[in-house]
Amino acid sequence: MEINKIIKLIENFAPLESQEGWDCSGWIISFEKDVKKIMLCLSVTQKIIEQALKKNCDMIISHHPLFSVPLEFNKQIPIYCAHTNLDKAQGGTTD
């Protein structure tokens, strides 16, 4: 599936406009890619990135934005975050 179609599905359910002003939901690392396998996680860590690459995932979707930037990102994998926008969505994480 095209990566932009996946993001459109997420953002139709949990629009970025609904995130809190302090939040950093959305793209962390973005580039066009065909996606067949996605790693879902609560928070992105170096171990999550390594696991996703080891399992041949094409994308990571996390709930939490990055808590620290010094992760040694291997920019071979796109990362998207849906945090307070997903919390607020009807049927979202806090509904």
Q: What is the mean pLDDT of the chain?
A: 88
Instruction: Give the Cα separation of 55 and 91 in Å (integer).
Output: 29
Inform me whether the pLDDT recorded for 81 exceeds 60.
Answer: yes
Tell me the two tokens of residue 38: 């996605």
pTM for the predicted model, two decimal places: 0.86
Cα 50 to its chain centre, rounded Å, is 15
- At 35-57, the pLDDT tens digits run 999 999 999 888 898 899 999 99
